[in-house]
Structure 1
Amino acid sequence: MKTLGTTLALLLACSPGIASAQTADPTSFAASADVQAQTRAMLAEMKPGQGFMWRPLVRDGATVAAIEIWKKPGRPAVHPAEAEYAIVLEGAGTLVSGGTLADPATRNPGLVEGSRIEGGTTRTLGPGDVILVPAGVPHWFGITGDRLVLLGIKLPGAK
């Protein structure tokens, strides 16, 4: 009987389904209620005149999905080595992307800002829209109404 018990324990321990059940799940997760609560908290914390707030929602090491609240447009930007993926959660705005970044100034290795985008494509943004701006592509978000709320993720650019 001891041999049968030992064999059964060994089989269970070596089974892929059982082994994965015993390993902690590395998935980072935020339910819809968590997203809404974080957005409400960020809106409440924003000071009058503050145009932008960013806060991580879920992460996997250096990869972060963050809530971005835009109340005023920022400067046109390029992320040389990162693509930017975003989903519009609420509000409305405009995306201008492509073209050429005028008057580029490097703020840090991951960010080049300019005064405007020349020759870009303009798109209207609303809830549910999905954006993927490749690494090295100029982009700018305008705000229509009181805010534009995005779930944004920076991803390593294609090599």
Structure 2
Amino acid sequence: MLLAAPTTGQDFASGNDIAARVEAMGKAMKPGQGFAWEPVVRDGERVAALEYWKAPGRPAVHPDQAEYAIVIAGAGTLRTGKSMEGGKQTQPGLIEGDRIVDPLDRPLKPGDVLLIPAGVPHWFGITGDRLVLLGTKIPAK
């Protein structure tokens, strides 16, 4: 017999919920704000969150976490590479740098799925007015 896990109110979001959150996030962003992050579902420290990009960030590396995401809205570019120049830790679990060396660019559109292994430099470019991802970090073993 399979028992259902207890619900917490944070373990499910419908497609309509996601669409409404994406719209609200876009409206709430201030002029010049290039990025917003909002958790959608959570299980303790594990979180799936919306990332709303209006402007590209800096090249980044998560040394101890892989990043899994689905493109929800907008369009952009995923740039990855084997190394990054000018890397400095800007917060726990995040190193930001100046440039990805020998980049590989992939276009992104709604429905695309991506998995960036832990330690891989990456950067998101924006095509048009936004790129919205639903993603989570996965601890490396």
Normalised by the length of structure 2, the TM-score is 0.94
The CA RMSD measured in Å over matched residues stands at 1.4
Higher strand residue share: 2
Larger radius of gyration: 1
Q: Is the 8 A contact 1:99 1:121 kept in 2?
A: no
2:81 is the counterpart of 1:117: no
Q: Which amino acid in the other structure matches residue 96 of structure 2?
A: E
Which residue matches 2:90? 107
Alignment equivalent of 1:94, drawn from 77, 82, 85? 77
Which residue matches 1:82? 65
Deviations 1:17-46 (A, max 9, x none): 5xx25x624681100010011111111110
Q: Is the 8 A contact 1:97 1:137 kept in 2?
A: yes
Count the aligned residue pairs. Answer: 140
SS of 1:149's equivalent in the other structure is strand
Report the alpha carbon displacement of residue 109 of structure 1 after superposing the two structures with TM.
2.9
- Sequence identity, in percent? 59
2:127 is the counterpart of 1:128: no
Normalised by the length of structure 1, the TM-score is 0.84
2:13 is the counterpart of 1:30: yes
Report the alpha carbon displacement of residue 101 of structure 1 after superposing the two structures with TM.
0.6
**Unmatched 5+ stretches in structure 1:** 1-15
**Unmatched 5+ stretches in structure 2:** none
Higher RCO, Cα 8 Å, sep 6+: 2
Q: Is the 8 A contact 1:83 1:133 kept in 2?
A: yes
Large movers: runs of 4+ above 3 Å? none
Alignment equivalent of 1:145, drawn from 117, 128, 131? 128
